[in-house]
Amino acid sequence: MLGPFGTRRGMLLYLLVWLLLGLVLAGLVAGVSGAAWPNALAFALPLTVLYAIAAGFSAMYLCRAYPLSGQFRPHVLLVFATTAGIAAAAWTGGALFWDTVLASGGYGVTVGPALRSMLFGLAVVLYGLCVLGHYLVIEFDRTRAAERRELESKLLAQDAELRLLRTQVDPHFLFNSLNSISALTSIDAARARQMTVQLSDFFRRTLGLDAQRKVAVREEARLAADFLAIEQVRFGTRLRSEMTIEDDAAACLLPPLILQPLVENAVKHGIGGLPEGGVIRVQARRDGTRLRVAVENDVDADAPARKGNTMGLANVRQRLANVYAHDAAVSWARENNTFRVELNLPAETVETAKTGD
């Protein structure tokens, strides 16, 4: 980390600041020595640029040798004070030499005792400002690096979470689907082939999802529909589904596979417990700046709530919290013979997401 010297833009900005200081120094020199402005500028600007480079690199290496995060040691102040004094003395000596060179060409400013004292004191102050500036840059870089590591950890956690969710796609779903395919091969080979294609397409879609990217509601709904189509082969007429995706909500974005555990729970804990079967309804609508997505299914009104269902909902809540913090919520309610889960999250589209970036 080289602070302002790390990039061309930083270097140019650093030199620009020092050139402005050189103009201020030229005004002081003209006032103290009574020299003309051209002479003062010829004297001050080269000296300032030279000191900017020398003091800048010196302060940078000392600041990294004695970081603020380390234990404070009194001798550190002595090191900086001594270095500042040496730099100021060298700059004052260089000013005397440069004035001699300029005087030979008729542009001298006559560096008297008052000007020498001013140059020395100013050099000490500027060196101290260099030290302060470098410490600020170091702490800024450290904070930015910590935020970057935190963001990378968060993205890795989201990716691991999505991978875990993929592995948690109910194994019984896969086993039962394969058993259904096996049974269909002897009585309806065409449906067996169709179910095989549906099953492979479903897993191909889920494996192609990226945890760091959001998907459109229409894509997530299509994936849920594929899942239900496969399960319908097993449940037959007992499983019915309804998809109601409003046009202004279809293009909105949401985390991938966020509906998967909800639809899976609806099948397992809802329709699976009803001998006569029931309906699973997936709805999505846009309410101003909010996106509302609901999954509703029929349940046995007399059966108690199952623990596994609550665990799946808690996982969905955690995923929303990881992506949206406190700007999203999931709620669920059971009324008579229906169980409804609703997601409330920001209504983002591809266009608004790019604008936000």
- pLDDT, the chain, mean: 84
Residue 213 reports pLDDT greater than 80: no
Q: Six-digit token pair at 292?
A: 């509302």
- At residue 236, the pLDDT reads 86
48 Cβ partners below 8 Å, 6+ apart?
18, 19, 21, 22, 25
Is the separation of the CB atoms in 38 and 7 below 8 Å? no
Closest CA to 167 of 94, 261, 57: 261
Q: Once rounded to an integer, what is the mean pLDDT over residues 37-43?
A: 90
Confidence band for 311, pLDDT divided at 50, 70 and 90: low
pLDDT digits (tens, 9 = 90+) for 102-134: 988 888 888 888 989 999 999 999 999 988 888
pLDDT digits (tens, 9 = 90+) for 50-94: 988 888 888 888 888 888 776 667 788 888 899 999 999 999 999
Residue 346 reports pLDDT greater than 90: yes
Specify the pairing of strand 278-287 against strand 329-335: unpaired
Considering only residues 305 and 99, tell me which one the structure prediction assigns the higher pLDDT: 99
Q: Once rounded to an integer, what is the mean pLDDT over residues 299-318?
A: 71
Confidence band for 188, pLDDT divided at 50, 70 and 90: confident
Q: Once rounded to an integer, what is the mean pLDDT over residues 334-344?
A: 91
Is the separation of the CB atoms in 139 and 68 below 8 Å? yes
Cα dihedral sign for 251, 257, 262, 263?
Answer: positive
What is the edge-to-edge ordering of all strands in the sheet holding 278-287?
239-245, 278-287, 290-298, 338-346, 329-335
pLDDT digits (tens, 9 = 90+) for 223-241: 899 889 888 888 889 999 9
Residue 306 reports pLDDT greater than 60: no
Residue 160 reports pLDDT greater than 80: no
296 Cβ partners below 8 Å, 6+ apart?
266, 280, 281, 283, 338, 339, 340, 341
Q: Six-digit token pair at 115?
A: 């000007």
Residue ranges and CATH numbers for the domains of the chain are 3-153 (no CATH), 168-356 (3.30.565.10)
